[in-house]
Structure 1
Amino acid sequence: MVMRDLTIGTKVGLELLTNKWHALTLCNLTATPVDFMVLRNRVRGISTLKLLTVLAKLEQLGLVVSTPDYAYGLTSEGVILKRDLAHLEAWGNRVITEMA
């Protein structure tokens, strides 16, 4: 099968992956919820408002879950995407190494 255009699903996935704050936030979360301020310190360079916006978007996409006391963790889908991001990073690292 030849791909002639990107599907809507591909576009959504690429939009998520190409936004550094989305990717960094996902990479700094686990299935065990972490306090918002702990997460805020892990994701360097992001404002509090931007992090809240990113978390709301990731929650809307079903990748993150929040608790009543403002802790955030990955859903099972979020864990899968985080694993996929790690594979993508490993691939990129191999490409860079081979180019050197």
Structure 2
Amino acid sequence: MSERQQEYAFHPADLVEYVKDKPIGAARAALTMVLEETDVYPDVVIGELSENMEFNQHLLKQLSEALRNNPKKIISGMPNRIKGVQFERELGI
């Protein structure tokens, strides 16, 4: 990779970190894009967002860390509530 390509390398976690302190609509839009090709349904994580910015920042921090560990398989780094909802969704419950 050339220097120019390295400067503009995009990591999905960067977008999540950017929207941590943005309005909830921005976070929803970012999560829709970032989670598209992961092992978690975007609407599962989006459904956990609340009007409480501190809660959202904590959730998005966990998501960002999981994305940095493995951008495709993030379920293991998610809170138990999201793991449970994801599991129910996969079972069709």
- Give the TM-score, by structure 1 length: 0.30
Q: Counting strand residues as a fraction of each chain, which structure ranks higher? A: 1
- Give the TM-score, by structure 2 length: 0.32
